[in-house]
Structures are given as structure tokens and as C-alpha cells.
Amino acid sequence: LNERCWSLKRTHDMFVSDHAKPVSLDEESHKVKVAVKLRTEYGPVLHMPVLKEGRVKGALNGGPEYLITGTHPYPSAPGVALTADTQVQKMPSEAGVHSMALALPPSQARQDAARTAASVGEIHRHAGGAERSQPPQHTLAIMEGGMKTSALVPRKAPTMPKPQWHPPWKLYRVISGHLGWVRSIAVEPGNQWFVTGSADRTIKIWDLASGKLKLSLTGHISTVRGVVVSSRSPYLFSCGEDKQVKCWDLEYNKVIRHYHGHLSAVYDLDLHPTIDVLVTCSRDATARVWDIRTKANVHTLTGHTNTVATVKCQSAEPQIITGSHDTTVRLWDLIAGKTRATLTNHKKSVRAVALHPRQYTFATGSPDNIKQWKFPDGNFIQNLSGHNAIINTLAVNSDGVLVSGADNGTVHLWDWRTGYNFQRIHAAVQPGSLDSESGIFACVFDHSESRLITAEADKTIKVYKEDDTATEETHPVNWKPDIIKRKRF
């Protein structure tokens, strides 16, 4: 190809040198043929741009800098890493050049020019780009005339306020009776009894005061993953890995309605607090909204790309919150049946959501972090870090105690306002169970908020109470004003 190109170049030079001379028809036709041949054989590569090098006026670092111009910015393909040699071979914008100039030690001539030509407003406006490029914990001292000193002034780091003191919780009852993992718990509105769903395919109702078994309900043909008791009617709702959603009439202790529609295991369900609506979520990556009375599927909430593991309802906008194994949390508009906001801050699956009973806030749990958010748009508040495990459940009471239960059997208790982790519990498994069977699948406060009930992998239900004998002197807050982790990511 090089030989043919040189041949064509020689032909072109001959054509240019002989252009002033009279030519015959044969020579003219030969040159036309050469031109046609050039176009047909090399036409496909003639459109390629020729890179031009131009020296940048006023080199910023004292040495020559080159600007590469062409059809693509340098580097010419995605995924090509810049090296020390090629770092400067990119096309900065005018603002970028200006901010880079401010970030470098200015020459005396540029200082003089800046002092006479630039106003204070311009200096601060242009300095913003250089200032934002620095680490957030430092500010840059910009001197008059656009000069930036090399001294870094540390910015005072925000500190965690002193957390409220909470008494520690202690185990006071272990309830046995299920023959499989206990996967779900719900307390009835009158606070007289609570209900559990298990991998043994049964639903059991227990007396809250004594812990005695009152009733067993059978009907599911696989693990019962979710239970909830209605405060508006004598109904109990359950869902399971058999794809079924059932409504139980507790006056007759039998199923009176089925809600058909999910294509895979149903992992969680919740009742809307003010209207007769049931919401369920499933491994089929959807959540469904049901009319309790007519069994109609009002909405199918689609948008998640993996299992929807948890769902919660509230009376204000947005009315439905879902957490999914696709690592996102979605806030849904119940009227429109559409997503109002998608929260993508978590890096791993979200299996737990808890709504604060008094504040307009909620928390989500994931193996990376527990995160707190504001309604209605899901504005990020803070991270609660330290529970480094798969978090299956969250619960929060009016005193601001947040409980997180994990797959490894640990329970962490947090101060809601500050995110301070004031207690960690790892209860022993039931005798006869393996140590690996110490997972926490669900937890809930009773309505008096004096008892915490957990559902566990060792087939037991554990009940915790606050330690009445504890004081701030016997159990002091081991608190240090650490930097608040309110960074959004």
C-alpha cells in the first residue's frame, strides 16, 4: 500500500509540475483514469481525519503542551486508560483551562495581569471549579488577585451529637413449637396475641402474655413468608412460597379468599392503614395491589428487575415502599400505580424496610448499610454502618430504638436520631440446633413497645424486654463525637 501511495504521489507531483505545460489528449485521459482509480481503490479511507498538532498558547506547566484535534476526543475509544504521558493530551474546555490555571503556581506576569484585569467576583466564580476539585475536608485560601496559596485550611468536621440513652434489652422468654424456620411475625391490634408463619407450612397464634399456643392454621403447602393482621376487620392475611395469598376469617378459622396472580413465591405483604387494600411482593419482580373485598388486582407494580423482598404501606404520599434484590428501593404512587422515586444508593440487595411510627422518615436494610430516608421523595439522611451481615428485618419504636436482625443471628439496636449502635445481641440457639441455625428472619415490637419479638432459624420465637434495673451509670453511653456519615453514595 505504501509503494502504491508513493507511486500515486509521484504521479500527482508530475501532474502539478506539468500543469503549466501543454498536454496531449492521451496524457489527459491517463490522468483522468488515475484519478478514477484513486477514488475507487482508496475512497473508503480518504474520509479519515488527519490529526493536526497545535501548540497551546501560554503553556500552563512551563513546558510544551499539545492539543490533539480530530473527530474524537483523546483517547479515541472508551475503556482506554490515560497514562502519565497522555494525561495532558486531551481537549479541556475553556472553563477547565481557566480552573487549571488557577490551580497551578501562577507566573509573576499572570499575577500582575490578574490583579489589574480580574474583578473579585470573577476570581471567586472561576475559583469554584478549582475549589470543588479538592477533597471535601479542606478549603483553598484564594488570595486577592486570583492567586491561590498552597496552604490548606482544614474545615471543621461535623460531629455526631450525643445520642439519647436507651436501656439495654435482655432475653426473657424463648417459645418453641414450630418444626421449621420461623419466617414471619405479626402482632394483633389489641396486643393480646401474635401470629407467626413458618417453614413447617403452618401459621400459629400465640398468647402474648404467657407465650402459650392458642391455635394452629394449616392450608399453605410451602413456607409461610408473610403474615399480617387487619385492624379494620377480623381477618388475617398470609403469603408463602406456594405463590398463594390467603385471607383467613378468625371467627371461623378458615380461608375465605384467595388472591391469585403472582407467578412465583410471595415474600411479603402489608395492609394499607386507612383503606381496604392489600399489597404483596414476589420473586416474580413485581408487587401487586389487591382490593381485599373483591379480590381484584388493582395494580401490578412493575419496574424492579429482581425479587421484591419487602413491602410497606403508609397513609401519606407515597403510599407504598418496596425493597428488592436488584439493590433499589422504590416509592410508589398508589393512585397512579407508578414509581414516584427510585433510590439507588444501596450496593446490595434490600430485604428490609421500617417506617418510623412518629416521624416522616423510614429506614432500609442491606448488607452494605442501613440507610435512613425522608418522605415523600426519599431524601437521604444518614448511614448506620457496622451490622456487616445480610439484614433480613428492621423494626423501630416511638422511643427511637431501631432494631436490625441478620442472617448470622445477630441483633443490633441503634439510636434512630444519631445512628449510634448502643447494643449488640447474639442469643444462643435452641439446644439441639446447629450454630449455623442462628438467623433472625423477622422482628417486631408489640403495640405497647415494651417487648421485642424475633423469629429465628432455630425454630424458636424469642421475646426481649428492657432491663428495668439499668441506669445511665450502670450502662453508660460509650460515645465519641465521630464524623457523621451523611455522605450520599
What are the tens digits of pLDDT across the range 397-417? 999 999 999 999 999 999 999
- Please give, one letter per residue, the 3-state secondary structure of the chain: CHHHHHHHHHHHHHHHHCCCCCCCHHHHHHHHHHHHHHHHHHHHHHCCCCCEEEECCCCCCCCCCEEEECCCCCCCCCCCCCCCCCCCCCCCCHHHHHHHHHHCCCCHHHHHHHHHHCCHHHHHHHHHHHHHCCCCCEEEEECCCCCEEEEEEECCCCECCCCCCCCCEEEEEEEECCCCCEEEEEECCCCCEEEEEECCCEEEEEECCCCCEEEEEECCCCCEEEEEECCCCCEEEEEECCCCEEEEECCCCEEEEECCCCCCCEEEEEECCCCCEEEEEECCCEEEEEECCCCCEEEEEECCCCCEEEEEECCCCCCEEEEECCCCEEEEECCCCEEEEEECCCCCCCCEEEECCCCCEEEEECCCCEEEEECCCCEEEEEECCCCCCEEEEEECCCCEEEEEECCCCEEEEECCCCCEEEEECCCCCCCCCCCCCCEEEEEECCCCCEEEEEECCCEEEEEEECCCCCCCCCCCCCCCCECCCCCC
Instruction: List pLDDT tens digits, range 83-139.
Output: 444 333 344 444 444 444 444 444 444 444 444 333 434 433 443 333 333 344 443
Q: Dig out the grid coordinates for 412 from the structure.
A: 443490633
- Report the b/e string of 31-44 with b at 16+ CB within 10 A: beeeeeebeeeeee
The CA-to-CA distance between both ends of the chain, in Å, stands at: 54
pLDDT at 385 (0 to 100): 93
Residue 4: pLDDT band with limits 50, 70, 90? low
Mean pLDDT of the chain: 78
The closest of 129, 105, 131, 127 to 118, measured between CA atoms, is 127
| 450-460: pLDDT as tens digits | 999 999 999 99
Confidence (pLDDT) at 22: 53
**Residue type at 444 in one-letter notation:** V
Residue 341 scores a pLDDT above 50 = yes
The pTM (predicted TM-score) of the whole model is: 0.67
Residues 362, 356 contacting (CB under 8 angstroms): yes
